[in-house]
Amino acid sequence: MIVAERKPLGEIAEMVAPYQKVTVIGCRSCVAICLAGGEKEVKMLVSAMKLKNRREGRKQDFDGFVLERQCEKEWVKEVEDKILSSDVVLSMSCSLGAQTIADMYPEKIVVPGLNTAMFGVPEEQGVWSEKCLGCGDCIIHTTGGICPIARCAKSMLNGPCGGSSNGHCEVNLDIECAWYAIHERLKLQGRLDLIEMVRPPKEWTTSHSGGRRVIVREDAKLTPHQKRDKEAVI
């Protein structure tokens, strides 16, 4: 899932400092799950901001709540009144949610309360690690289920670099060398022949290097007639 981290509170305070009415909007999806932008974090943030203001002798109006999924227009539309009446929207969602609001209400100032970091998995409660870079052309069937694009610091495609040492990456000793891991995995599966497979240079146009990507399912798109405004989600 998308893993994000709350920005340092000082940075957030600076972003909203010029505004009087601050509307803080969180999300119940990925950022709640990675403990960055759910209802609890929103409430704690508002409280901390109020305390900061009390110490500094200023007053701002804060309103905080969460949406089911901030990247969906229907859910954002539900709180249109609150967005329009705010001086600034402080989004405690991943950047997708923040940008959704910003795109829907281009005259409103929207600031990000979180740093969207990565696609990550919870290794254990409280620890998330990056496993995918969204290259758009998955090859993990050839690497025993381990992604070398994300898990190798250099995104090497054909085995480790010379810096691999005792199974660790030269960039950071805390990181396992992905190709060491791939080797061990393929060995376990009795498929070491895949290590010898030569992978040609990757088709990077499917990744971000080819520019912002758009994925379309023609069979899912709505006709103009279908697209008429429906009643609110809730």
Partner 1 sequence: MKRSIQVVICRICSGAANVLDTDKLLRVASEAPYVGSAIAVDYACNTKTIAQIVEEAKDKEIDRLLVVPCSKNEVSPALFQSYKRKAKINEFLMEAVDLVSEVVLPHRDEPSKAQAKAEAKLLAAIARMAMLEPLQKGSEEMRTKNVVIIGAGVAGVEAAKRAAEAGLHTILIEKSDKEVKAPGVVMPRSRLISAKGHAGNYELTIEAGEKMEALECGAVIVASGGDWSEAKGPLVRACPEAKPLYKLAQELSSGNIPKGGVVIVDTPDPKADTTPAQDFAWEEALQCAIEIKKRESGTDVCLMFQEMRALGLAELSYKEAAELGVRFVRYDKKRPPKIDSKDKNRIVVIDSAQEQAIAIAFECLYYASIAPNPDNMAIAEALRIPMNDSGGVRRGSMQKGPIATPRPGIFVCGSAQFPRSEEMSRLEGRAAGALAAQFVSTGTVEFGGSVAEVTPEKCSACLTCVRTCPYEAPFIGVAGKAEIRLQLCQGCGMCVGICPSKAIELHNYTDDQLSAEVASYIGGDF
Partner 2 sequence: MAERNPKVVGFCCEEHGIECANLAVRSGKQYDVSVRLVRVPCTGRVDGIHILKALEDGADAVFVLGCLEKNCYYDTGSIEGRKRVDYVKSMLSQVGIEPERVEMFNASSSMAWKFSEIVSKMTDVAKRLGPIEPRGDGQ
**Is 72 near partner 1 (CB under 8 A)?**
no
How is residue 168 written in tokens? 């660790």
Residue 141: exposed, middle, or buried by beta-carbon count in 10 A (0-12, 13-18, 19+)? exposed
Helix residue ranges, H only, 23-135: 30-33, 39-56, 73-78, 80-84, 95-104
The SS3 assignment for 65 reads strand
# binding residues, partner 1 (CB under 8 A): 12
Q: Which of 14, 17, 40, 158 binds partner 1 (CB under 8 A)?
A: 40
**Is 47 near partner 2 (CB under 8 A)?**
yes
Pick between residue 8 and residue 210 the one whose CB is nearest to partner 2.
8
**Is 40 near partner 2 (CB under 8 A)?**
yes
| Cβ contact 32:42 at 8 Å | no
**Is 66 near partner 1 (CB under 8 A)?**
yes
- Listed residue (105, 72, 120, 111) closest to 92, CA to CA: 111
Produce one character per residue of 168-207: b if its CB has 16 or more CB atoms within 10 Å, e if not: ebeeeeeebbbbbbbbeebeeeeeeebbeeeeeebeeeeb
Q: Which of 5, 15, 19, 39 binds partner 1 (CB under 8 A)?
A: 39
**Is 35 near partner 1 (CB under 8 A)?**
yes
Identify what 57 binds: partner 1, partner 2, none; CB under 5 to 8 Å per kind.
Answer: partner 2
Stretch touching partner 1 by CB under 8 A, among 33-41, 74-82, 165-173, 219-227: 33-41
Residues 180 and 166: their CA atoms lie apart, in Å, by 9
Give the shortest CB-118-to-partner 2 separation in angstroms.
Answer: 22
**Is 54 near partner 2 (CB under 8 A)?**
yes
**Is 43 near partner 1 (CB under 8 A)?**
yes
Q: Which of 5, 13, 28, 156 binds partner 1 (CB under 8 A)?
A: 28
| Cβ contact 115:5 at 8 Å | yes
Q: Report which DSSP code applies to 194.
A: G
Give the shortest CB-232-to-partner 2 separation in angstroms.
Answer: 29
* Interface with partner 1 (CB under 8 A): 28-29, 32-33, 35, 38-41, 43, 66, 125
* Interface with partner 2 (CB under 8 A): 8-10, 13, 40, 43-44, 47-52, 54-57
